[in-house]
Amino acid sequence: MCLLLCLVVPVLAHAAGVQATLDRSSMQLGETVTLNLHVDGGGNVAMPDLGPLQQDFDILGRSQSSSLSIVNGKRSAELVIGVVLRPKHAGTLTIPSLTVGGAQTAPLILEVDAPDPAAAAAMHKSLFMEAEITPQRAWVGQQLSYVVRLYYSGNISSGSLDTPQIDGVQLSQVGGDLRYDAVRGGRQYHVIERRYALVPQHAGTLQIPALGFQGEALDPSDPDSFFGAGTPVSASAPALAVPVQAAPADWGKSAWLPARALSLTLSGWPDANTPVRVGQPINLVMKLSATGLPSETLPTLSLPTLQGATVYPDQPATATANDGPWLVGSRQRAFAVVPERAGTLTLPATTLRWFDVDTGQEQTAEIPAHSITVLPAVGAAAVSPAAVGTSAPPAASSTPAAAEPVAAVPVSTMSHDAAWRWIALASLLLWLLSVLAWWLWRRRAAHGPAAVAAGSGAAESVRRARQAFLAAARGSDAGAQLRSLLAWAQAERPAIQHPGALHTALADEAQRRALAELQHRCYGAAASTAAGGDDLAEVFKRGFAWHEAGKIDADALPPLYPFKL
């Protein structure tokens, strides 16, 4: 029938190549539980020694099954050994470590409760239902676990169970139906268990109506049952009510996060021994995980404002899994942090308030502050820009040094030939200094290194790089546009190795803004206002507007994505 869906919600324990699971972590005395031993790779594995289990359990049955799957061309096989157990007594029982295929499993914990006296009154029935809700009181937005169980003896050929219809509640089924056996009042029953996650959206009393089951039972002694004719049967689970409290009045405007557990982590920040340079991206991943909350209730993730770096966030990823009866919502987002200047880069601390529903207390999840020293880009000049291209100081410092020996020897005391030798040497030095000063003046007056390299083939290289960029600017490939623009800049100024250095060297605000928007198109999540096509070509069609030496603007780009938690 449609209810007999055996999708197990496991409680996991791991060992190398072997995984042990229980189909549930809690039960009542008299019920059965299945221990599954998963062996990676499949093959022939001998039945393990189950003797350690016999102290607390009766072993009712054993089975083996194999599976083979191929995903994206990768083949994987698994052997599953199933062992049906019935606890001998109530309490917290331990499934001991077992040796399977040469590997050890880790111990598992099973909670076994005493039989429910209220359910014993229904033992004379061949079909009955139970319902329970956990916890008995809740907060708005807190997940509750609602469990419905159908007990039946004999055979049921078909049947359907009602789905809860509750106003003002977010409802979803957790996992698939569990199927196991139980003994109540000395009578053997088959059990089908279904779990729901309920998240109330309003304060007040949460009313859960009774759920009904309708089906057909087969009687083995009735010959008509062989042809599919059965007796209609029905049962219902009791209605339940849970008081729901509103969020504390003093909580403020922070996101209301009532959870059983919550963690906020950041990975990828380099350690002190890892060199980081200007323009080299730092790839970070922030993850938020909460037990008892679906992913859609978790806040958006972003980094705090960084001084001296630009942050490019990736698209966020969300998921909702389950840990037994509880939802586990998670959000994850990757960020590329690109340092724009040398020095100390600090990531401020990040905090997130949440409410612990188990203790009833406010808690704070925190990512501590991080700092790293950013080195200059590879190939950056080691001398001060103010000292580059200045012709006057070298001339002033060289002339006295060369002239000093001449002035130190009185002409009247020298021979005629010696005097002419000193005069010729001084004239040669003065001529060389004049040529050097003229060359430095022409180099400084020219517009960039491209003019200096004219006639040597560099000008042709600059022209080709410029044409390649203008051709790329007419397209829509932001990556190709940024690469060709950087290649053009490097043809004129070889010291420029990355977009951050190019942004710093540009004097024109329109060109700086167009470069920043182009970087956003390449690394950002979207490009709503990015320049492109004819606009990008128009901004750079007259060439680069370079800063003069010694006048570099060190201001960093403003952060594109402020912190929102």
Tallying the residues shown for the chain, one arrives at 565
pLDDT digits 0-9 by tens, 147-187: 999 999 888 877 888 888 898 899 999 988 999 998 887 78
**Residue 151 backbone dihedrals phi, psi, to 5 degrees:** -105, 130
> With contact defined as beta carbons under 8 Å apart, do 236 and 337 qualify?
no
Cα gap 361→156, rounded to integer Å = 48
pLDDT at 561 exceeding the cut of 50: no
449-to-442, 461, 515, 537 alpha-carbon distances in Å = 11, 12, 21, 22
pLDDT at 11 exceeding the cut of 80: no
pLDDT at 479 exceeding the cut of 50: yes
Instruction: Give the pLDDT of residue 71.
Output: 65
Instruction: Give the pLDDT of residue 410.
Output: 39
Instruction: Give the pLDDT of residue 384.
Output: 39
More confident residue, 398 or 345: 345
Instruction: Give the pLDDT of residue 376.
Output: 93
Tell me the Cα Rg of the chain.
Answer: 39
Instruction: Give the pLDDT of residue 131.
Output: 93
> With contact defined as beta carbons under 8 Å apart, do 145 and 173 qualify?
no
Strand partners, 233: 215
Mean pLDDT, residues 452-477 = 75
pLDDT digits 0-9 by tens, 368-403: 999 999 999 886 554 333 333 333 343 333 333 333
pLDDT digits 0-9 by tens, 398-456: 333 333 333 333 333 344 455 556 666 777 787 788 778 766 766 655 544 444 444 45
Mean pLDDT of the chain: 78
pLDDT at 285 exceeding the cut of 70: yes
Closest residue by Cα to residue 83 from 105, 101, 57: 57
pLDDT digits 0-9 by tens, 214-260: 888 876 655 555 555 567 888 889 999 999 999 998 898 889 999 99
Instruction: Give the pLDDT of residue 460.
Output: 81
pLDDT at 365 exceeding the cut of 90: yes
Instruction: Give the pLDDT of residue 359.
Output: 92
Tokens of residue 16, six digits: 């190398």
Closest residue by Cα to residue 390 from 431, 436, 430: 436
- Strand, coil or helix: what is 251? helix
Mean pLDDT, residues 48-61 = 87
Tokens of residue 413, six digits: 């005391």
Q: Cα angle at 241 between 235 and 243, to 5 degrees?
A: 165
Instruction: Give the pLDDT of residue 5.
Output: 35
> With contact defined as beta carbons under 8 Å apart, do 391 and 436 qualify?
yes
Out of 99-113, 313-327, 333-347, 376-390, least confident range:
376-390
Instruction: Give the pLDDT of residue 7.
Output: 35
Closest residue by Cα to residue 366 from 266, 275, 440: 266
Closest residue by Cα to residue 80 from 179, 27, 10: 10
Residue type, 357: V
Query: pLDDT class for 100, splitting at 50, 70, 90?
Result: confident
Closest residue by Cα to residue 491 from 450, 455, 451, 457: 450
Helix (H) or strand (E) holding 456: none
Q: HSE (CB half, 13 Å, CA atoms) of 381?
A: 14
Query: pLDDT class for 1, splitting at 50, 70, 90?
Result: very low
In three state form, how does the secondary structure of 474-495 look? CCCCHHHHHHHHHHHHHHHCCC
More confident residue, 525 or 69: 69
Instruction: Give the pLDDT of residue 550.
Output: 45
pLDDT digits 0-9 by tens, 269-278: 999 888 899 9
Instruction: Give the pLDDT of residue 560.
Output: 36
169-to-239, 256, 258, 398 alpha-carbon distances in Å = 16, 17, 15, 87
pLDDT digits 0-9 by tens, 112-152: 887 665 554 455 578 899 999 999 999 999 999 999 999 99
Instruction: Give the pLDDT of residue 169.
Output: 93
Instruction: Give the pLDDT of residue 123.
Output: 52
> With contact defined as beta carbons under 8 Å apart, do 285 and 333 qualify?
yes
**Residue 169 backbone dihedrals phi, psi, to 5 degrees:** -135, 135
pTM (whole model) above 0.85 = no
Mean pLDDT, residues 452-473 = 74
Instruction: Give the pLDDT of residue 383.
Output: 39
